[in-house]
Amino acid sequence: MQRYHFRPYSPNQTVLFPQRIDKDISENDPVRLISNIIEHLDLSSFRRLYKERGRSPYDPKMLLKVVLYAYMNNIYSCRKIEKALKRDVHFIWLAGYEQPDFITVNRFRNRVKSEINNVFTQLVLLLSAKGLVTLDVEYIDGTKIESKANKYTFVWRKTVEKNRARLMEKIKVLLSQVDDAIGQDKSAAEESVSFTPETLTEIADELRQSLSEQPAPRSKEEKKAVREKKKQVKRLEQMCDKLSEYDTHLETLGERNSYSKTDNDATFMRMKEDAMNNGQTKPGYNLQIGTENQFITDFGFFHNPTDTLTMIPFLQSFSNRYGHLAKEACADSGYGSEENYSFMETNGIEAYVKYNYFHKEQKRAFRNDIFRIENLYYNAEEDYFVCPMGQHMEPIGVRHGKTGSGYRTESTVYRAGNCKGCPLRWGCYKSKQGRREIEVNHRLMQYKRKARQRLTSEKGLEHRSKRPIEPEAVFGQMKYNMGYKRFRHFGKDKITMDFAFFAIAFNIKKMAAKLRNTGYKTDDNASFTPYTALNKPIWRFLPQHNTNIIKMVA
């Protein structure tokens, strides 16, 4: 008879785990990296968010480590974080066997929503101090992320304005039907002025008071007249409430065309992720990010679905965060406008930004099209264009435009002398007018020429080759590898807080991947410093106690 020898098995033994819970955590595990980084960040602003008296709260440094490590592992639910704190050895070691519940974790995130942005800035400054980013170049791109709001809770500006205009007409008709002197006087006074809820409330109160002061009706006709007046007052009060609702909608809309009732900061936009392929709009935010070496260096949320009007405030947010503008900016054709080019030239930013037909003008068909404005000969000294038949197109006037941000554009209109009987009339223009007119924005054309020179230079080709693998790669990792496709909070302040946590976790995860490729080891309570061996940069963790990140960056 054979005897089998197995290892002892006793799950109920008194000492089941080793004395050090991190015995089974490898030296180069990202959980050690995140612990060391947070230990050396300046979190003094977190302490001011807590009261000195009362029950001792959990250490905010521990909660920050736990939340960031959860985001690094695609865990965004507070309930799942609570479960991981009891099951995962990495979370148990990181929390020091503290077990805050999901309510505590959620309260911590909301408590530090005004301070977490500063932590993100500190981390990027740390990356800059260690040579992983330079903060001199910014690759900019945007994507739309769906809000948590219901997609059928929309409010459209045109609908509100149309219904409000109809309501105003109904109010005027109703006041004209009121035979009371007060109602007639108010109606006559407000014929040329838009009504307000306060004005209608005053009218309704005065009408109701006048009805109460009248003697009691005796005949059926008098009673019927009183009932009719009461109905009119009630209808006026209902219209007042409806008018107040429309005014609230317009106030919430601001300059937007739509918003969601459940998330007032969300705007309805067309998303790339369209399961029904019908172009349905959904409540969301336009997320703009700036990257370098695939690290997120800046981010911002905007209401407008297009990227053109977001570039200037986004570049300014970079300056507010780091104290200076980026020296170089690289973006796609969605940002190529006169306003953006002018801002970057004024502030000394080299604009490697495409314009709408940059790629199209490289094709032979575009260059050989003699009818296009870009291919017409222009005499700058005498200010005229020459049409394909050799006629001079003289300036006849100037047209001014205005962008959504208030920037004023100026275009000159040129007209040919005589197009009657021209053999090239078939391909020159389609208008039924006798002479061709063209509208030219000279400042924009000059900016485009400068942009073309930069983009086709050696440095421009390098930036153009990097741009698709910079923000585009970050968006791909964010949405498809880390599952961050939809916000889980309402309001711009809370989604900004949530994405700040995500951006910090994303950068630390990227840093851990780069360190893993070069090899590193870590000790407890150590901060990492670079050194060079055999002319090859290598990153390690060396003991440096009492190191402050602000001093390191300075």
- Strand pairing category for 137-146 and 328-331: parallel
307-324 pLDDT, tens digit each: 999 999 999 999 999 999
Q: What residue spans define the domains of the chain?
A: 155-260, 360-443
pLDDT over 70 (residue 180): no
Comparison of pLDDT for 430 and 294, the residue scoring more: 294
Comparison of pLDDT for 223 and 254, the residue scoring more: 254
Q: What is the pLDDT of residue 420?
A: 81
Lowest mean pLDDT among 105-119, 167-181, 344-358: 167-181
pLDDT over 50 (residue 393): yes
184 pLDDT tier (thresholds 50, 70, 90): low
pLDDT over 80 (residue 14): no
Residues with Cβ < 8 Å from 384, sequence gap 6 or more? Answer: 378, 392, 393, 394, 395, 414
Percentage with pLDDT > 70 across the chain: 89
Q: What is the pLDDT of residue 228?
A: 82
Dihedral pair phi/psi, residue 270, rounded to 5°: -85, 125
225 pLDDT tier (thresholds 50, 70, 90): confident
**Closest among 396, 385, 489, 397 to 428, alpha carbons compared:** 385
Q: For the whole model, what pTM was predicted?
A: 0.84
Q: Cα–Cα distance between 169 and 38 in angstroms, integer?
A: 62
pLDDT over 60 (residue 182): no
10 pLDDT tier (thresholds 50, 70, 90): confident
322-348 pLDDT, tens digit each: 999 999 999 999 899 999 999 999 999
Lowest mean pLDDT among 144-153, 225-234, 497-506: 225-234
Lowest mean pLDDT among 56-60, 293-297, 549-553: 549-553
Q: What is the pLDDT of residue 529?
A: 42
pLDDT over 80 (residue 431): no
Name the average pLDDT for the chain.
84
CB-based contact 113:493 (threshold 8 Å): yes
Q: What is the pLDDT of residue 292?
A: 93
Residues with Cβ < 8 Å from 261, sequence gap 6 or more? Answer: 149, 153, 154, 155
- Strand pairing category for 408-416 and 437-440: antiparallel
pLDDT over 90 (residue 104): yes
Q: What is the pLDDT of residue 554?
A: 35
Q: What is the pLDDT of residue 278?
A: 67
Count CB atoms within 10 A of the CB of residue 288: 24
553 pLDDT tier (thresholds 50, 70, 90): very low
Q: What is the mean pLDDT of residues 425-435?
A: 78
pLDDT over 80 (residue 34): yes
Q: What is the mean pLDDT of residues 290-308?
A: 92
Q: What is the pLDDT of residue 13?
A: 76
Comparison of pLDDT for 222 and 448, the residue scoring more: 448
Residues with Cβ < 8 Å from 31, sequence gap 6 or more? Answer: 25, 69, 90, 93, 94
CB burial of residue 349 (10 Å; 0-12, 13-18, 19+): buried
pLDDT over 50 (residue 527): no
Bridge partners of residue 541, in order along the sequence: 528
Q: What is the pLDDT of residue 161?
A: 92
171 pLDDT tier (thresholds 50, 70, 90): confident
**Closest among 304, 263, 290, 279 to 488, alpha carbons compared:** 263
In the chain, the amino acid numbered 490 is: F
552 pLDDT tier (thresholds 50, 70, 90): very low
Q: How far is CA 179 from CA 175, 225, 318, 437, in A?
A: 8, 10, 63, 60
Comparison of pLDDT for 327 and 200, the residue scoring more: 327
Q: What is the mean pLDDT of residues 380-397?
A: 89
Q: What is the pLDDT of residue 521?
A: 52
Q: What is the pLDDT of residue 231?
A: 85
**Closest among 148, 146, 154, 147 to 260, alpha carbons compared:** 154
457-472 pLDDT, tens digit each: 999 999 999 998 999 9
